[in-house]
């Protein structure tokens, strides 16, 4: 799987739910906090295994509302 993927899906991790690359943190957890007004640094405080830059990239890409190719 290319390192360029920031969201991955693996049946062995969180039942295949999309997670932030290199973590077991489901993307929807990050997006829920973002929707509540948390910024990337505050989300990182809640999920320290997810780097601030990765959180920012996930939110930026998903906020564009584009079709995503999820690695799996």
Question: How far apart, in Å, are the Cα atoms of 29 and each of 2, 23, 24, 33?
Answer: 23, 12, 11, 7
Segment 1-16 shows an average pLDDT of 84
The conformation of residue 7, written as its DSSP 8-state character, comes to: E
Q: Does residue 46 register a pLDDT over 90?
A: yes
Q: What CATH number does residue 33 fall under?
A: 1.10.10.10
- Coil, strand or helix at 52: helix
> What are the residues whose beta carbons fall under 8 Å from the beta carbon of 46, sequence distance 6 or more?
33, 38
Q: What's this model's pTM, rounded to 2 decimal places?
A: 0.82
44 pLDDT tier (thresholds 50, 70, 90): very high
Domain that holds residue 48: 7-63
62 or 41, which is more confident?
Answer: 41
> Is position 70 within any domain?
no
* Position 30 in a domain: yes
In a domain, residue 50? The reply is: yes
pLDDT at position 4 is 72
Would residue 41 count as lying in a domain? yes
Would 1 be classed as within a structural domain? Answer: no
Number of domains making up the chain = 1
pLDDT bucket at 10, cuts 50 / 70 / 90: very high
Residue 71 lies in a domain: no
């Amino acid at each position: 799987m290319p390192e360029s993927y920031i969201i991955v899906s693996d049946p062995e991790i969180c039942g295949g739910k999309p997670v932030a690359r290199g973590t077991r943190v489901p993307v929807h957890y990050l997006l829920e906090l973002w929707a509540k007004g948390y910024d990337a640094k505050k989300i990182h405080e809640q999920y320290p295994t997810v780097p601030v830059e990765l959180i920012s990239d996930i939110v930026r890409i998903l906020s564009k509302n584009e079709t995503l190719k999820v690695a799996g």
